[in-house]
A and B are shown apart, each in its own frame.
Chain A
Amino acid sequence: MELAFFIYFAAVIAATSVMVVAVRNPIYSAIALLIMFFHVAGLYVTLHAEFLAAVQVIVYAGAILVLYLFVVMLLNLRQDDRYHRQWPMAAAVGATLVIEAVILTVMKGWTTPVVAAGTETTVEGTSNAGAIGDVLYSTYLFPFEVASLILLVAMIGAILLAKKDIVEVNSEG
């Protein structure tokens, strides 16, 4: 049963991620990415990461993708987008990565690693969101604060980068 769900989600994720790269129109790329985000959220649910599934839908599909669509429509692109001229280099890098993956798979085999039990951040018996909150506010408190700082810096930076120079506009008008 779990395998059937995984196969469905994996097939849709792989197909839509190829579509994101292959489709010409940026709007269609963004819509394909939206479908992919929802299926990744479904994959998280099958992995019992319910909190992350909700956050994936809210943050990725709700905030990030809306921002992308907004910019795509704001810039009103022409349809002259073709593939890059450095495709031989892209093919070389891609082929190298594929060969590395094949070699690693063959060398290591398909054995799964041993399960580490009783580590510091193992939390049992609570809900998923509760367990994450428990760890986030104790072990990872400092990175959590740093993340809030990153968001603040990004907000200020985005406003400064995207705003027009007000002094210049005033002197013109």
Chain B
Amino acid sequence: MTVPLSYYLVLSGIVFLTGVVGVLLRRNIIIILLSVELMLNATNINFVAFSRYFHDVAGQVFVFFALTVAAAEVAVGLAIIIALYRAKSTINIDELQLLKW
């Protein structure tokens, strides 16, 4: 492995940070879900890099499970968005303040 592990960690840190900023900054709820996908992918890169480095397949198995959870999250999240759009006819989170104190 000629590429040091720290390079992969820095890359996944950058991608994760981008996802966090996207969740906090954007107002379109679809972009927020896409940013969550960015964060999940950042952790997956981490898992695979460590799995390669330690010669241990467990990391890749965990990526497999993370993928399953991501698929479930997308299905339920998009269903919620569709239900929300049907009820409120907006997906701008500034106008969705039903649970705001």
- Name A's B-contacting residues (CB within 8 A): 1-3, 6, 10, 13-14, 17-18, 20-21, 26, 29-30, 33, 36-37, 40, 43-44, 46-49, 51-52, 55-56, 59-60, 63-64, 67-68, 71-72, 74-75, 77, 80-87, 89-90, 93-94, 97-98, 101, 110, 112-113, 115-117, 119, 121-124, 128, 131-132, 134-136, 139-140, 143, 147, 150-151, 153-155, 157-162, 164
CB-based contact B55/A115 at 8 Å = yes
Q: How would you classify the secondary structure of chain A's contact residues: helix, strand, loop or mixed?
A: helix
- CB of A47 within 8 A of CB of B79, answer no
Q: Is B68 a contact partner of A72 (Cβ separation < 8 A)?
A: no
Listed in ascending order, the chain B residues whose CB lies under 8 Å from chain A are 1-7, 11, 13-15, 17-22, 24-28, 30-31, 33-35, 37-38, 41, 44-45, 48-49, 51-58, 60-61, 63-65, 67-76, 78-83, 85-86, 91-94
Task: State A14–B14 Cα separation when bound (angstroms).
Answer: 7
* A/B pair count, beta carbons within 8 Å: 225
Bound-complex Cα distance A113 to B1 (A) = 14
Residues in chain B near residue A155, CB distance under 8 A:
75
| A132/B76 in contact, CB under 8 A | no
Given contact pairs A90-B24, A97-B20, A154-B76, A85 touches B61 in the complex (Cβ within 8 A)? no
> Once the chains bind, are A68 and B74 in contact (CB under 8 Å)?
yes
A135 touches B94 (CB 8 A): no
Residues of B within 8 A of A160 (CB): 79
| Complex contact B26–A85 (CB within 8 A) | no
